[in-house]
Structure 1
Amino acid sequence: MRFFKDWGRFMMAGAGALARWEIENAKSITGSRKKLLLIALLTIPAVLGSIAFADQIGPALPDLLGGKKAYSPAFYSLGIYMVSIAIGMGAGLITGCIGAGGGFIIAPALMSAGIKGILAVGTDLFHIFAKAIMGSVIHRKLGNVSVALAAVFLIGAVLGATTGGVINRMLYEINPVLSDAFITTVYSLMLGFLGFYALTDFLRSRKAGKGGDAHGGGEGAELGGLSRSLQDVKFPPMIKFDEDLIPGGRRISWVFLVLSGMLVGLAAGIMGVGGGFLTFPIFVYILGVSSMTTVGTDIFQIVFTAGFASITQYAIYGFIFFTLAMGMLIGSLLGIQIGALVTKVVPGITIRGFYAMAVLAGFMNRIFALPSKLGEMGVISISPGLGSLLNNIGIWLFFIVIGGFSVWVIGTFLKNIPVLKREEA
């Protein structure tokens, strides 16, 4: 039980940190006319390609860009493009309103819409990279970035992202169904654990009459027992950090940074979530880095980890839908703005409950999709009809919950526009 609570708190802190990064990026993009104009210009070829040119352009693409082996770049159909905007908006509403990573639902949502798992992962990674580059929030945080810490960490992140990308591509080459089953299993485990923890946390908080946000607040610079033990290991070179916060700073062996980076990069390469949800809790709870330094360093690593993984492990092999990435970017920017405003008029305990529902909906979606994939590979004996029925149940449950949540958030926003205007004034 203690392990469940500690690991759940670890994951929730990561989800909250990822959401704060997403919200800050969205504010940076929507607050700049030049960036909004750039998004509009990039959207024009995506829409035109989706409407008119898919048949003419797709087959003529060179192998390097995925014209032969895979499904991108990204002229597919206007319907799927609109679905990607809706998925991005749903994820943005969760991120902005709940204060926890809505990006967890993007890959499952894309897979439910008929996109292969490896394409969903690659597209999600590229969407995160594009958002990070366009957000350009690094310059605000440079004072809190430990360059040495980030550089050594990125060595491991590059190795981990490469490993994750190779695993996904290798499984896809063996059998696309195996690739989907693997990604589905990973998401089922992660979303299942996080969802049930969030549910128990919500029920416990409601019983105790507590409000609060979904991620449980920020973390300080205090050291736990594990952090002290790791920092006591003197295996050179030692990396120095937190000099501005702690007299003389702190030091940790490069080995632990590289190993941590490998874990984050592996998660990014396999799941397509940028790894940001792991960096914050690893740095704060395990390595003993202050939350101030962690925030800046995390932003720094997301740009490079997501960029490296999306381009070198997926884009050059044709496993990215660029137009879908643009659609998700547009939808998420809008969703985050609306969701963040709704938090001003909705009790925190209600938001916690919705977060548990959203994550569990993602879990149900993937766990119900797994039997049909295992049946196709002959791992279990299940009729195609039953497998298809379970898969459809998971899809309907998922989109009903996420769609219902989205309608509630947008409705609450529209209903409270006068209140929000008065607060702003």
Structure 2
Amino acid sequence: MKSVRKIYDLLLMASMAHARWDYEASMNILRSRKRLAILGLLALPAVLLSVVFAAGDGDLPSILGGKHAYSPAYYTPSIFLVSILIGVCAGLITGCIGAGGGFIITPALMSAGIKGILAVGTDLFHIFAKAIMGTAVHKKLGNVSVPLAVWFLVGSGIGVTGGGVINRAIYEKNPVMSDTFISVVYVVLLGFLGIYALSDFLRLRKSGADVGAHHGESPHGKEAATGKVGLPARLQGANLPPMIRFDEDLVPGGKKIPAVFVVIAGALVGFVAAIMGVGGGFLTFPIFVYILGVSSFTTVGTDILQIIFTAGYASISQYAIYGYIFYTLAMGMLLGSLLGIQLGALTTKVVKGIYIRGFYAVAILAGFINRLFALPGKLADMKIITLSPSTAKFIAVIGNWAFFIVVSIFAFWIISKFFANLKTLRGEA
């Protein structure tokens, strides 16, 4: 039970670390007129395309991803608007909770009628675009351990390639199997996170304790980061050349670790990113700090480079060149998330953390139910189970409605809290 709990804590810290990067990148874009102007120019074709198809029949030529095209999905102006709303909701969850917003994007896109592999590729491209536009790399380069980053990116490239090949191979064999595979991955992850998050909320509510919206560092985090205890000590103590030296500015003589462990860590991060579309930053921070024993100071800079490389390489080499990215949807999500993440972050100042914890658990479980209820229809299409099309559709519709109702209520609650406390927030500003 304790080991399962540790896995949950690790995944939650991973989600929080990615959320912190997401917030920082979003704020860097919003605070720069130049970056906002560039974003406007990039988003303009997406807006114009929506207007054009709203005036026409809403169908794309097959070469661009028409309704009957082999790879991309059917496109309508309503899907573009839904992508903006999905970005807003994901941003609200990320900004308000400090974790979990990225988990709902792929399930939400799939619920809106986007093929699973296209949802994964588009989400990766959206992360890559935000990383390129919003990451102030020059401020963090002093933190980067070049040998650590190079070996990690070698592993990341291997993992991304493997994940992309698997996703494409499954889709080419059977598009329904591809959606089923991606749905199962999210069912397992969101079910695990949601159940533990809900149990955390109920425990805290029963005890009457109030906490911040964001979890703090693990009580063993500082010890693990020194590399002197537990798994980090064993890994750094192994004598497997070539060895990587890092953290020279923090520890006399620096720390050393076999390159093979860093490559394996990179491969794991890259593989998960390519399979799920959540971006490499999701796992890098906890793996670096709590498994490899790298300091938080060095991890921050290395993670920024890793996100740019992993999301960029995955989205372009594994998805874009094969037609599995919808540019207009990525721009819609980026626009929406910039607004949502700012409102969500401001709302945390006027809402008790215990309530935010509760909404986090419910939002994650809604995503779990959404993908779980989509599975019967997929399994029936693959002839694994016997189920009438009407019954399968009914079950899937229930999952879709449950998901969007819960997320909409959460979004409405945050926005209403924001406007109700506008004077207070202005005073703090």
TM-score by length of 2: 0.94
Structure 2 vs 1, CA of residues 136 and 69 (structure 1 numbering), >3 Å: closer, same or farther?
A: same
Is the Cα contact below 8 Å between 1:50 and 1:76 reproduced in 2? Answer: no
**Aligned counterparts of 1:24 and 1:17: Cα–Cα separation in 2:** 11
> In structure 1, what is the equivalent of residue 398 of structure 2?
393
> In structure 1, what is the equivalent of residue 258 of structure 2?
253
> In structure 2, what is the equivalent of residue 88 of structure 1?
87
**Equivalent residue runs for 1:103-118 within 5 Å:** 103-118=102-117
> In structure 2, what is the equivalent of residue 152 of structure 1?
151
Q: Give the counterpart letter for 2:273 in structure 1.
A: A
Is the Cα contact below 8 Å between 2:105 and 2:123 reproduced in 1? Answer: yes
> In structure 1, what is the equivalent of residue 243 of structure 2?
238
> In structure 2, what is the equivalent of residue 190 of structure 1?
189
Farther off after superposition, 134-143 or 179-188? 134-143
Q: How many Å apart are 1:69 and its aligned residue?
A: 3.7
Could you report, residue by residue, the CA deviation over 1:134-171 in whole angstroms, capped at 9, with x for unpaired residues?
A: 00322221121112111100111111111111111111
User: Unaligned regions of 5+ residues in structure 1, if any?
Assistant: none
Q: Give the counterpart letter for 2:211 in structure 1.
A: G
**Aligned counterparts of 2:230 and 2:261: Cα–Cα separation in 1:** 15
Is the Cα contact below 8 Å between 2:58 and 2:75 reproduced in 1? Answer: no
**Equivalent residue runs for 1:127-276 within 5 Å:** 127-208=126-207, 209-217=209-217, 219-220=221-222, 221-223=225-227, 224-276=229-281
Farther off after superposition, 345-354 or 19-28? 345-354
> Is the partner of 1:132 in helix, strand or coil?
helix
> In structure 1, what is the equivalent of residue 326 of structure 2?
321
Structure 2 vs 1, CA of residues 237 and 55 (structure 1 numbering), >3 Å: closer, same or farther?
A: farther
**Aligned counterparts of 1:21 and 1:197: Cα–Cα separation in 2:** 24
> In structure 1, what is the equivalent of residue 312 of structure 2?
307
**Aligned counterparts of 1:55 and 1:132: Cα–Cα separation in 2:** 35
Could you report, residue by residue, the CA deviation over 1:245-289 in whole angstroms, capped at 9, with x for unpaired residues?
A: 122211110111111111111111110011211111111111111
State yes or no: 1:59 paired with 2:61.
yes
Structure 2 vs 1, CA of residues 57 and 365 (structure 1 numbering), >3 Å: closer, same or farther?
A: closer
User: Unaligned regions of 5+ residues in structure 2, if any?
Assistant: none
Residue 368 (structure 2) aligned to one of 355, 358, 363: 363
Structure 2 vs 1, CA of residues 207 and 290 (structure 1 numbering), >3 Å: closer, same or farther?
A: farther
Q: How many Å apart are 1:222 and its aligned residue?
A: 3.6
**Equivalent residue runs for 1:275-424 within 5 Å:** 275-424=280-429
> In structure 1, what is the equivalent of residue 50 of structure 2?
50
Q: Give the counterpart letter for 1:21 in structure 2.
A: W
**Aligned counterparts of 1:61 and 1:44: Cα–Cα separation in 2:** 21
Q: How many Å apart are 1:50 and its aligned residue?
A: 2.0
Is the Cα contact below 8 Å between 1:61 and 1:67 reproduced in 2? Answer: no
**Aligned counterparts of 1:27 and 1:123: Cα–Cα separation in 2:** 22
Is the Cα contact below 8 Å between 1:59 and 1:67 reproduced in 2? Answer: no
Q: How many Å apart are 1:213 and its aligned residue?
A: 2.9
Q: Give the counterpart letter for 2:419 in structure 1.
A: L
**Aligned counterparts of 2:216 and 2:177: Cα–Cα separation in 1:** 37
Is the Cα contact below 8 Å between 2:19 and 2:95 reproduced in 1? Answer: yes
Q: How many Å apart are 1:76 and its aligned residue?
A: 2.8
Is the Cα contact below 8 Å between 2:12 and 2:99 reproduced in 1? Answer: yes
Is the Cα contact below 8 Å between 1:366 and 1:394 reproduced in 2? Answer: yes
Structure 2 vs 1, CA of residues 210 and 412 (structure 1 numbering), >3 Å: closer, same or farther?
A: closer
**Aligned counterparts of 1:307 and 1:291: Cα–Cα separation in 2:** 24
Is the Cα contact below 8 Å between 2:380 and 2:387 reproduced in 1? Answer: yes
Farther off after superposition, 377-386 or 356-365? 377-386
Percent identical residues? 60
**Aligned counterparts of 2:172 and 2:275: Cα–Cα separation in 1:** 15
> In structure 2, what is the equivalent of residue 70 of structure 1?
71
Q: How many Å apart are 1:409 and its aligned residue?
A: 0.3
Q: How many Å apart are 1:175 and its aligned residue?
A: 0.7
**Aligned counterparts of 1:417 and 1:368: Cα–Cα separation in 2:** 39
> Is the partner of 1:378 in helix, strand or coil?
coil
Farther off after superposition, 260-269 or 378-387? 378-387
Q: How many Å apart are 1:55 and its aligned residue?
A: 7.5
**Equivalent residue runs for 1:10-25 within 5 Å:** 10-25=10-25
**Aligned counterparts of 1:56 and 1:356: Cα–Cα separation in 2:** 37
> In structure 2, what is the equivalent of residue 99 of structure 1?
98
Could you report, residue by residue, the CA deviation over 1:197-231 in whole angstroms, capped at 9, with x for unpaired residues?
A: 11122222333414123333474334441111111
Cα-Cα RMSD: 2.0
Structure 2 vs 1, CA of residues 165 and 336 (structure 1 numbering), >3 Å: closer, same or farther?
A: same
**Aligned counterparts of 2:58 and 2:106: Cα–Cα separation in 1:** 28
Q: How many Å apart are 1:305 and its aligned residue?
A: 0.2
